[in-house]
Copies of this chain bind each other. A is one copy, B any other.
Amino acid sequence: VLERFRDRLSPRVEAVVASADRLAEKRLLRSLGIPTALFDDEVSLDAPCIVKTRRGGYDGRGQIRCTTSAERLAAVAELPDPIVEGLVPFDREVSVIAARSADGDIVAYPLVENVHVDGILRTSVAPVDGPDPTGLVTTFLDRLGYVGVVAIELFDVGGELVANEFAPRVHNSGHWTIEGAVTSQFEQHVRAVCGLPLGDASPIGRSTMTNIIGELPDMRAVLAEPGAHLHLYGKEPRAGRKLGHITHVRRDG
């Protein structure tokens, strides 16, 4: 269906559509010259890999790690619409949140380091030192004529950035910007899509964002920590569910 309307789609719509399909997402990134993991036929049969469902997976759901070809064949048969991804021997996971305005201005927040456990984001720290993602982000946004906030999740492989996936929207790994940057990612997105000038994406000190997953913490204890910013989403606790997050900003740093 997408093919029939492609010439009428705005570039951002292309990114939105591609981000919902791991195969289209990787092809789009490759077409922009952005490195990704090997996928499908590129992954040799006996190499360890992750088989993922192309659509609808999130927070580690719809993914099976495989170490043998037998496991891989079983996973491909089990998951609907599967894609095989090669393992990336990364040193750490990082992300970059950036925005492009209707006028073509681009601002990028500083590099964020992310820790996932069981496929779910646990903590994000920003700013961190690391490879400069500016070129990659500028290519992505300019080539797509993108307007709004994007989050690109990356692997840092010995100083080279390899794209994992992107979200054509504000992102959990950018929640620290609410208190930790001059302009939050949420205000930035509104500025961009409303055709207004983008805001200052500079960090204010060093932020650590910790997700609240599955069960609520002792709120009195959290709020008693100096400089802790507690956000609750009003969701019922359930195992593996993101219920909120806490951001600490160290402003003397």
- A interface residues (Cβ-Cβ under 8 A, vs B): 182, 191, 196-197, 199-200, 204, 219-220, 223-224, 226-227, 249, 251
User: Nearest-CB distance from A176 to chain B (Å)?
Assistant: 15
Point out the residues of chain B lying under 8 angstroms from A224, CB to CB.
197
Cβ contacts under 8 Å, A226 to chain B: 182, 200
When distances are taken between beta carbons in the complex, the residues of chain B under 8 Å from A251 are 182, 204
A221 to chain B, nearest CB (A): 9
- Interface of A, helix, strand, loop or mixed by DSSP: loop
**Could you tell me if B200 and A223 are in contact, using CB atoms closer than 8 angstroms?**
no
Return chain B residues, CB-CB under 8 Å to A182: 226-227, 249, 251
Number of copies: 2
Looking at the assembled complex, report how far the CB atom of A44 sits from the nearest CB atom of chain B, in whole angstroms. Answer: 51
Cross-chain contact of A219 among B196, B204, B227 (Cβ < 8 A): B196
Which residues in B have their C-beta under 8 angstroms from that of A219? Answer: 196
How far is B182's CA from A227's CA once the two chains are assembled, in angstroms?
6
Separation of A191 and B199 alpha carbons in the complex (Å): 30
* Chain B residues near A220 (CB-CB < 8 A): 196-197
> What 12 additional pairs, Cβ within 8 angstroms, besides A182-B249, A197-B223, A197-B224?
A182-B226, A182-B227, A182-B251, A191-B223, A196-B219, A196-B220, A196-B223, A197-B220, A199-B223, A200-B227, A204-B204, A204-B251
Q: Which residue of B lies closest to A198 (CB)?
A: B223
A-B contact pairs, 16 of them (CB 8 A): A182-B226, A182-B227, A182-B249, A182-B251, A191-B223, A196-B219, A196-B220, A196-B223, A197-B220, A197-B223, A197-B224, A199-B223, A200-B226, A200-B227, A204-B204, A204-B251
Highest count of chain B CB atoms <10 Å: which of A197, A200, A219, A251:
A197
Interface centre among A199, A219, A220, A227 (most CB of B within 10 A): A199
